[in-house]
Amino acid sequence: MVKYALTIEDRQKRTETAKYIVNVMASMNQQNRDTHDFWRTLWDHLFIISNFQLDVDGPYPMPEKEKLDKKPDKINYSNRDFKFRHYGKNIEAIIKKACEFEDGPEKEALIHTIANHLKKSYLNWNRESVDDEVIAKHLEILSDGKLILSTNQKLTATSDILARNKVRKKKFQPRGKDNNGKRKKRS
């Protein structure tokens, strides 16, 4: 259809044909109609299909071929060196803030909570069991020795953390349909 539109010499007829082609494209992609730039995208595609040779009075200007061919700018990633990548950068900020707390039961509770979070994060990336001593050592390293988990504090058991993760990852199971196309009632 686009090849045919390119052969039409009368600009007004060529424009009407282009509008017809765009409407056909729209009927083929009805699921995308809700996007805010749906029609512009279709017109852009029409111009691209015609290899930017279709000269019509469309509602949108022809996109620039150079912009479409241009590679996107390179994303600059942080060169910051993480001590433990699997914990993430936010936990380092939390640990830094926790170091500012005064000694006492509130700081001990915060240290325990942070250590439990470290253990959960560790188990997200490494499914094997992890000793509490390893987590305590990582906490000490991340805090430059300012936060030390006391030996009498027990962290959440590895099996409990893994069991909770397994429950959270259950997938949604939609109910089936009966022979009439209606949803079955839950039993």
175's CB contacts (< 8 A; 6+ apart) are: 183, 184, 186
Q: What is the pLDDT of residue 165?
A: 65
Cα–Cα distance, 23 to 12 (Å, whole number): 17
> What digits encode the pLDDT tens for the residues 142-182?
899 888 888 788 888 877 877 776 665 555 555 565 666 66
The pLDDT mean for the chain works out to 83
- What is the pTM assigned to this prediction? 0.50
**33-82 pLDDT per residue, tens:** 778 889 999 999 999 999 999 989 989 988 888 888 888 888 887 666 77
Q: What is the pLDDT of residues 87-106, one digit of tens each?
A: 878 888 899 999 998 888 89
124-147 pLDDT per residue, tens: 887 777 888 888 999 999 899 888
Check residue 183 and give its pLDDT: 63
Per-residue pLDDT of 47-56, as tens digits, reads 999 999 998 9
Q: Name the residue with higher pLDDT: 148 or 184.
A: 148
Q: What is the DSSP letter of 127?
A: -
How far apart, in Å, do the first and last CA atoms of the chain sit?
54
Tokens of 169: 């990852």
Strand partners, 183: 177
Which residue, among 153, 157, 161, has the nearest Cα to 136 in the 3D structure?
A: 153
Q: What is the pLDDT of residue 129?
A: 74
